[in-house]
Structure 1
């Protein structure tokens, strides 16, 4: 099963196995990864699942939708590698993807 590595702002790593087709926000919530809130339940409506995608993986994931980009623009300090983890769906080619978590989701 493919894996994702979440790294919090204190550099603590949590490795999680994720089924293909599952979004990476729900995988974090299911595995109690601290730092992902997912207040909207994955409906791309709140941006509380904000992550920074490691540079190695940026070209492997689909580009953000217009709705996701609008939410990312509303973040306090968006970065070029900012994404909403609810919009990243696991597939085999993402095995080992690294997602860094911001210090706060607000």
Structure 2
């Protein structure tokens, strides 16, 4: 299992054990992490699962592909480390990943 830490806008930390192959968004929903709405259910058709990848993890997580980048145009307060959590697949290399939830979605 891979550990992911979600940091809510108010600073509350949610540590989650995630199965490889699932997405960062799916694990946030399963564990009731506030601020991850995921209105489209993970189809990369909205921007309501937007997160900021911690700087230390951005190179490992990687950059968004074109479709995700287009959807990020609809996200609130996009930053260089912005990603849609539905597009980040959990894998061994992400053990310890930290993502921050924006103040609001969309």
Report the TM range for the smaller structure's normalisation. Answer: over 0.9
SS of 1:57's partner is: helix
Look up the match of 2:75.
75
Q: Aligned partners of 1:40 and 1:71: how far apart in 2?
A: 12
Contact map agreement 2:25 2:36 (CA 8 A) in 1: yes
Look up the match of 1:18.
18
5+ long unaligned stretches in structure 1 = none
Q: Tell me by how many angstroms 1:73 deviates.
A: 2.0
Instruction: Give TM-score, length-normalised by structure 1.
Output: 0.96
Runs in 1 of length 4+ with deviation above 6 angstroms? none
Q: Aligned partners of 1:35 and 1:105: how far apart in 2?
A: 7
Look up the match of 2:7.
7
Residue 99 of structure 2 corresponds to residue 99 of structure 1: yes
Residue 49 of structure 2 corresponds to residue 49 of structure 1: yes
Deviations 1:81-104 (A, max 9, x none): 100000000001100100000010
